[in-house]
Amino acid sequence: MSQLENRTYDELNTGDTASVTHLVTERDLSLFAAVSGDVNPVHLDEAFAAATPFKGRIAHGMFSGALISAAIACELPGPGTIYIGQEMSFMRPVRLGDEVRVELEILEKLPKNRVKIATRVFNQDNKQVVDGVATVMAPTEKASMERPTLPEVKIG
């Protein structure tokens, strides 16, 4: 089990970075569709998706957004961070089997414990798939905890 530890507003500096990688699986797409209700066949139906400009299934765009949210919540600034806003541009599709890397960089510290964070996602070929900026409220007190074990979820 790993530890989650935050960085408080006072500990953050412009230029601080963190990154997290994730392998995109069939299970991810199925669970994301089930939780979000987004059953667009471009994500779930290979025959349908093959006839689109993408020539195959792609991950939900907001799945990348969820990975960004997880990186902010668990890595930088970490536990206790509150999302205020997110700007996001989808630059290229994320596909099944892609290993994506979420990169975070502190851009600016603002009043009231607010922080602007660059949120960039790259695929395994180092091609950027998402570009964005998050505004969050950073924690003001230290927090450290064991990463919770998630429940087993069965599909079907």
Q: What are phi and psi of 13, to 5 degrees?
A: -135, 145
Q: Using the predicted structure, report yes or no on whether residue 156 has a pLDDT greater than 80.
A: no
Annotate 118-142 with DSSP letters as a single string. EEEEE-TTS-EEEEEEEEEE--SS-
Residue the block writes with tokens 């990975």: 67
Label residue 36 by pLDDT band (50, 70, 90): very high
Concatenate the DSSP letters of all residues of 61-99 into one string. HHHHHHHHHHHHHHTSS-TT-EEEEEEEEE-S---TT-E
pLDDT tens-digit map of 68-114:
999 999 999 999 999 999 999 999 999 999 999 999 999 999 999 99
Q: What is the mean pLDDT of the chain?
A: 97
Q: What is the pLDDT of residue 52?
A: 97
Q: What is the pLDDT of residue 95?
A: 97
